Structure 1
Amino acid sequence: MEIINGVERLPVSGQALYLALGNFDGVHRGHQMIIRKTIEAAKKYGGISAALIFDPHPVISLHPERPFVLLSELADRAEIMSELGLQYLIVEPFTAEISHLSPEHFVLNYLLDKLHVKTVFTGSDYSFGKQGTGSAETMRYWGEKLGFTVDVSPMLKYRGREVSSSRVRTLLLSGAVKEAAELLNYYFFRTGKVIKGYGIGKQMVYPTANIAASPRLLWPGRGVYLTAVGNLNGGYLFGVTNVGSRPTFSRYDTSVETHILDFSGTIYNYSIRLLFIEKLRDTKTFSSPQQLKEQIRLDIEAGRKLIPYFKQATNGSSTPLQSGCSVLRSLKE
């Protein structure tokens, strides 16, 4: 897949353009359905498949006062879309000029004059144009009037639950990473550079890899999790990850600390990936280093007990998660 920075840079091929529209934050099962339909139509009719997203996210630009955090960075969205088979991801800068376009002018200026779309694919909750006044039905209206096809997908339900970015956020913030993975169709992950911590874990005989928690991105709610740790020696190891502040001692900085099982080495400044598999427990306050050390031992023991079940589910046909992201394939190997 090729990332195109700006609609004007999309190569002119003479082929019809089948375009997915949306923010696709998290690229969950509903988003994947829309993107797959886009890809299938392009293949069937000999066209090209692409998705158009705005960066930064319109909510961040229009409402900087809101405490809005993203489920996925642009690079993560691009990775998943590429694994699905999309040909182009068009990233258009979200500017003040775009924010003031009426739905009609967005369709005319962007979809027709610049992109010459054949068909657009979107979800029923899609909004566009100034202050989000355009809806999926508005897009359908302009398609009928101006001669392009609009495919609107209804809200996807998975096992009786609606799949949406807001639902995924709610699950993650509550620590329900296993349930969130079912809606995402992959294990929620974060990639970051290992930084120096306070050395407390090493003093406990359980050294940790510390990742700076970006304020722009959502992390699972505070707690201790079984994780898979990627970008190490070309594969994945397992780890026990604490997300939150350090309530035990005198420091209260937000932290993400992972004790990587069966690993020794210095990885400062290395970029690693954490896949959140299952929550082990909530955070606790300890009265002594000895109590903390014992709890870490118990956490590692609990995590190790879950690993065989996780491997069996991942390799077995019963798993609800399908290979739509390279992180899943890596875990299956």
Structure 2
Amino acid sequence: MFDCIVKGGTLADGLGNKPETGDVAIKDGRIAEVGGRINGLAKRVIDADGALVTPGWIDLHTHYDGQVSWDSEMAPSSHNGVTTVVMGNCGVGFAPVLEGQEKELIELMEGVEDIPGSALHEGMEWGKWETFPEYLDYLETREFSLDVGAQIAHGSLRYYAMGERGRLNQDATEDDLSLMGKLVTEALDAGAVGFSTSRIIGHRSLWGEPVPGTFAPHQEVLAIAEAMKKSSKGVFQMIPAGTVGKLESLGGEKATQQEEHDLMVQVSMQSGRPVTFTLVQSPDYDPETWREILELTEIANDKGAKIYPQVSSR
């Protein structure tokens, strides 16, 4: 006897096959049978007629970095069919961190993602980690209703490695680059699913300071790429300058979409790792700009790059 049979739904397997009507049987917490009509007995039968039945969704772009400290349910993602979330996007996160840096990282997250600083101050268990591997060890002590993947963020990395110089977007020295590369490799080897950076001037802390790494020269970005090559692990996640418009009221972006795309191609080719980026989503641009970026991406991938755009659901 099965524990549950989901009957008559439209099965979409996530592999690109044509959806078809069928059943899914579950036993002992695992899928036991898929497809066609399943005639066995079950303790529970769910009528899925008219509904899609799919594998669990992967939410690639979340900011649960603080919420993982106090919430096991990971709502609202877990309420919407999501079974895996990836956090640490947009160059903001909470590891690595030195004692005394917590306030600035909270203000950065609050400014960029509008997550209330009061909740982060009250809910986070500061002191249980410093390095990124220690942060992952901390997450292992928690229980969640879904799987959680964490990226090491450029903002916290730069602040940890360079102190105030890093937080205020001053140029990195060779020693700084060496240390950041070492920390990225350590994070990936410990289980980080990638590295993230934001290069749009609209991403700012609560007090108006751009995310650390916003103006990082190509030398710094490619040093991270080299660290990822050394580890042979992880995805490079980037918010390119210009993604949400020209932002002329803030002084204007410092790089064009073409320049940013060229940088992503170089990162992917040098590191051998996939690069994912947020596709342009602003009315400031010609309505065909997004199509041009996709065409450039296709050309780059045909030449050996691995670049994948993300599209906002909003």
Q: TM-score range by the shorter chain?
A: under 0.3
TM-score, normalised via structure 2 length: 0.28
> Does 1 or 2 have the higher relative contact order (CA < 8 Å, sep 6+)?
1
TM-score, normalised via structure 1 length: 0.27
